[in-house]
């Protein structure tokens, strides 16, 4: 007689680590794994086809590897006719069929999923054991202790604590090189000549499992945004390690210097094939492997530090990169769990405009937005400054409802999981959390984009102009943003310089800016922008 099932180990699409705490004490004779592909996860926001595909193929590769290891995996495919369509319904059905004594999982990556699973477990009268997610270097309780009693949270202080705790880039108790960060050396632009020949990141051509998934996504979600044609992401732990090595050797040496720079060779995102190297520049493209837990952040951090210690990359590059992972990535996760669920509904600037339709198509005369959205549609990828200072900045200046901006980011990027996407969007980019994440709103005029990219070359607008037929919409809306929120911004010492410049405007200038801003806002809601 078969033994009754003891533990059913729940593995979600962003928990693809066979060594996670969920498998501690796993007994192949008494325990089994449960996974389900469900349509709800692809439709609760209008998800990019490549994002749907990466989760599904990552899960199927994990399932096959687990079975090869001798683990029993109960797996519901999306194309199974009995598929109930939601995580909750699928889990409930599995509990009825398998009758496990207990459910075990590691902490979920989003609040909504965690609550849904808890509700099912309670309803079915099953104990749910949620174990700490060891993938992260800062447990949720440690972040709560860090936040306790502080009037204000700032990433920099958190980062220093993490560096000390993990002995990363330290000489004894002092930071290597005598400074905690080299941010000032991380803001170079390419100059008129551009970046020159770029290393083409290693590709991972779809294997039969991925090809099957790509066909399924194309058939099930044909009207969803984005393209599947350029899908070449690492989908297994082995491939993720190859991608890491490729980054360390090819792009890390220039990462620090050019991490804020943007560049386009020509308007080719809509061409076939689009230029890959240009999409990634010197960035790692490791976020998706990290977020699906195919790659351990400790391995990434150690590899970058070793490269510096061996004299192959500068301290500015190694530190700039490590700060993103040991600092920002851990910090935003801490913020998410510390402030949810209220965090999701914050709207500190009272923004109410809808998201312009061109965010989905990229069809706009504004060349910077056309490029970044075009690239996002082609690859499901844009680098940090493209997200923050192009698509994010424009939505902020336009006054788009932050929850609509959040849903767009959650939908459009292959690396989007709510714990990391939401604080970056709502907090860092839209300043909707009133300054929990960022000490001031990241606002700039078109001149910032002119300095950091070549997008403005050939654009029909002039980044220096705030009014007139060829005024840059970013520049018009930037001044209008300062006017609209002047009273609030005056309380922020970090906005003093920007407000001093505002004070120099005559009342005629102000009226002209406000009128032009209204026209831009109205135009943005039509497809002819
Ligand atoms: C509005 C907005 C939304 C974002 N949404 C996401 C998201 O859904 N998922 C996501 O992983 N990142 C998100 N980010 C952060 C960042 O843009 C991406 O992590 C990065 O662009 C991924 O590309 P990469 O792997 O080439 O990163 P690199 O530039 O090579 O950076 C290295 C790694 O550092 C980490 N990292 C860098 N910046 C951040 C950050 N601000 N927060 C957390 N981790 C960071 C990532 O793991 C990344 O892989 C968002 C940023 C903004 C401004
Ligand atoms: S001029 Fe303005 S709209 Fe055009 S690319 Fe530059 S910043 Fe963007």
Those residues whose C-beta lies under 8 Å from the C-beta of residue 488, and which sit 6 or more positions away, are 349
What Å distances lie between residue 493 and 427, 444, 481, 488, 496, CA to CA? 19, 17, 17, 11, 5
Question: What φ, ψ does residue 317 adopt, rounded to 5°?
Answer: -70, -50
Ligand nearest to the CA of 451: 2
pLDDT of residue 36: 98
Binned at pLDDT 50, 70 and 90, residue 2 comes out as low
Atom of ligand 2 nearest to the CA of 445: 7
Best mutation site among 287, 296, 373 for ligand 1, i.e. most ligand atoms within 8 A of its Cβ?
A: 287
Binned at pLDDT 50, 70 and 90, residue 196 comes out as confident
CA of 188 to the centre of ligand 2 (A): 19
Q: How far apart are CA 416 and CA 405, in angstroms?
A: 13
Residue nearest to atom 6 of ligand 1 (CA): 421
- Nearest to 389, CA basis, from 455, 325, 292, 457: 455
Binned at pLDDT 50, 70 and 90, residue 308 comes out as very high
Class of domain 140-201+251-339: mainly alpha
- Does residue 128 contact residue 22 with C-beta atoms inside 8 Å? no
The full length of the chain comes to: 529
390-414 pLDDT, tens per residue? Answer: 999 999 999 999 999 999 999 999 9
Q: How far apart are CA 35 and CA 476, in angstroms?
A: 50
CA of 400 to the centre of ligand 2 (A): 19
pLDDT at 528 over 60: no
Per-residue pLDDT, averaged over 410-435, amounts to 98
Binned at pLDDT 50, 70 and 90, residue 77 comes out as very high
Residue 456 beta carbon below 6 angstroms from any ligand 2 atom: yes
Residue 403 beta carbon below 6 angstroms from any ligand 1 atom: no
Those residues whose C-beta lies under 8 Å from the C-beta of residue 522, and which sit 6 or more positions away, are none
Atom of ligand 1 nearest to the CA of 321: 32
Q: How far apart are CA 425 and CA 19, in angstroms?
A: 31
Per-residue pLDDT, averaged over 152-178, amounts to 96
pLDDT of residue 188: 86
Q: How far apart are CA 403 and CA 432, in angstroms?
A: 9
Domain 358-524 has CATH 1.10.579.10: yes
Residue 262 beta carbon below 6 angstroms from any ligand 2 atom: no
pTM for the structure as a whole: 0.97
Residue 373 beta carbon below 6 angstroms from any ligand 2 atom: no
CA of 521 to the centre of ligand 2 (A): 16
15-72 pLDDT, tens per residue? Answer: 999 999 999 999 999 999 999 999 999 999 999 999 999 999 999 999 999 999 999 9
Q: Both tokens of residue 237?
A: 């732990």
pLDDT at 512 over 90: yes
- Site of tokens 């490590």: 322
Binned at pLDDT 50, 70 and 90, residue 269 comes out as low
Per-residue pLDDT, averaged over 332-339, amounts to 98
- DSSP reduced 3-state for 53: helix
Q: How far apart are CA 504 and CA 273, in angstroms?
A: 48
Residue 237 beta carbon below 6 angstroms from any ligand 2 atom: no
pLDDT at 529 over 80: no
Q: How far apart are CA 376 and CA 148, in angstroms?
A: 38
Residue nearest to atom 8 of ligand 2 (CA): 368
CA of 173 to the centre of ligand 1 (A): 29
Q: How far apart are CA 423 and CA 265, in angstroms?
A: 32
Residue 438 beta carbon below 6 angstroms from any ligand 1 atom: no
- Does residue 400 contact residue 355 with C-beta atoms inside 8 Å? yes
The more confident residue out of 435 and 529 is: 435
Best mutation site among 251, 256, 332, 420 for ligand 1, i.e. most ligand atoms within 8 A of its Cβ?
A: 420
459-481 pLDDT, tens per residue? Answer: 999 999 999 999 999 999 999 99
For residue 86, the number of C-alpha atoms closer than 13 Å in the C-beta half-sphere is 9
CA of 158 to the centre of ligand 1 (A): 18
349-366 pLDDT, tens per residue? Answer: 999 999 999 999 999 999
Q: List every span in the chain annotated with CATH 3.40.50.620.
A: 7-131
Residue 455 beta carbon below 6 angstroms from any ligand 2 atom: yes
- Nearest to 225, CA basis, from 56, 389, 373, 385: 373
199-244 pLDDT, tens per residue? Answer: 889 999 999 999 999 999 999 999 999 999 999 999 999 999 999 9
Residue nearest to atom 3 of ligand 2 (CA): 366
Fold held by 7-131: Rossmann fold (3.40.50)
- DSSP reduced 3-state for 372: helix
Atom of ligand 2 nearest to the CA of 455: 5
pLDDT of residue 194: 82
- DSSP reduced 3-state for 203: coil
Q: List every span in the chain annotated with CATH 1.10.579.10.
A: 358-524
List the Cα angle 526/527/529 in 5-degree steps: 80
Residue nearest to atom 2 of ligand 2 (CA): 472
pLDDT of residue 267: 58
Q: For the range 319-322, what are the long-range contacts, defined as Cβ-Cβ under 8 Å and sequence gap of 24 or more?
A: 319/169, 319/176, 319/177, 319/181, 319/182, 319/256, 320/181, 320/182, 320/183, 320/185, 320/186, 320/255, 320/256, 320/259, 321/252, 321/255, 321/256, 321/284, 322/168, 322/169
Residue 368 beta carbon below 6 angstroms from any ligand 2 atom: yes
């Amino acid at each position: 007689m078969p033994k009754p099932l003891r533990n059913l180990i729940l593995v979600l699409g962003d928990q693809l680590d066979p060594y996670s705490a969920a498998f501690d004490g796993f007994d192949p004779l008494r325990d089994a794994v449960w996974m389900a592909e469900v349509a709800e996860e692809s439709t609760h926001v209008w998800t990019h086809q490549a994002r749907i595909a990466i989760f599904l193929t990552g899960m199927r590769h994990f399932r096959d590897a687990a079975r090869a290891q001798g683990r029993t995996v109960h797996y519901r495919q999306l194309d199974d006719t009995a598929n109930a369509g939601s995580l909750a319904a699928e889990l409930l059905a599995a509990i009825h069929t398998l009758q496990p004594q207990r459910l075990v999982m590691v902490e979920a990556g989003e609040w909504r999923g965690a609550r849904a699973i808890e509700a099912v477990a309670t309803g079915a009268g099953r104990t749910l054991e949620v174990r700490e997610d060891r993938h992260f270097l800062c447990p949720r309780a440690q972040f709560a202790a860090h936040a306790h009693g502080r009037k204000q949270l700032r990433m920099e202080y958190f980062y220093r604590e993490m560096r000390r705790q993990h002995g990363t880039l330290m000489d004894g108790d002092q930071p290597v090189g005598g400074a905690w960060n080299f941010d000032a050396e991380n803001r170079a632009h390419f100059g008129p000549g551009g970046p020159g020949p770029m290393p083409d990141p290693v590709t991972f051509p779809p294997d039969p499992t991925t090809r099957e998934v790509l066909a399924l996504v194309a058939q099930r979600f044909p009207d969803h945004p984005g393209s599947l044609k350029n899908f070449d992401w690492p989908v297994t732990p082995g491939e993720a390690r190859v991608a890491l090595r490729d980054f360390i050797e090819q792009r890390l040496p220039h990462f620090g210097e050019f991490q804020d720079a943007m560049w386009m060779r020509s308007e080719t995102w809509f061409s076939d094939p689009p230029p890959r190297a240009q999409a990634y520049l010197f960035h790692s493209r490791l976020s998706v492997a990290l977020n699906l837990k195919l790659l351990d952040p400790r391995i990434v951090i150690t590899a970058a530090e070793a490269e510096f210690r061996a004299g192959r990359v500068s301290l500015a590059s190694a530190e700039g990169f490590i700060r993103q992972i040991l600092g920002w990535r851990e910090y935003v996760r801490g913020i998410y769990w510390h402030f949810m669920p209220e965090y999701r509904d914050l709207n500190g600037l009272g923004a109410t405009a809808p998201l312009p339709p061109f965010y989905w198509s990229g069809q706009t005369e504004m060349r910077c937005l056309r490029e970044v959205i075009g690239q996002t549609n082609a690859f499901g990828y844009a680098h940090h400054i493209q997200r923050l200072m192009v698509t994010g900045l424009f939505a902020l200046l336009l006054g788009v409802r932050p929850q609509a901006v959040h849903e767009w980011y959650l939908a459009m990027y292959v690396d989007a999981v709510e714990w990391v996407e939401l604080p970056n969007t709502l907090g860092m980019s839209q300043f909707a959390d009133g300054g929990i994440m960022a000490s001031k709103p990241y606002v700039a005029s078109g001149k910032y984009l002119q300095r950091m990219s070549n997008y403005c070359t050939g654009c029909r607008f002039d980044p220096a102009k705030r009014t007139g037929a060829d005024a840059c919409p970013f520049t018009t809306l930037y001044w209008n943003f300062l006017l609209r929120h002047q009273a609030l911004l005056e309380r922020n010492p970090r906005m003093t310089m920007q407000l001093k410049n505002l004070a120099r405007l005559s009342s005629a200038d102000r009226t002209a800016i406000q009128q032009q801003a209204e026209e831009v806002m109205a135009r943005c809601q039509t497809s002819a922008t």
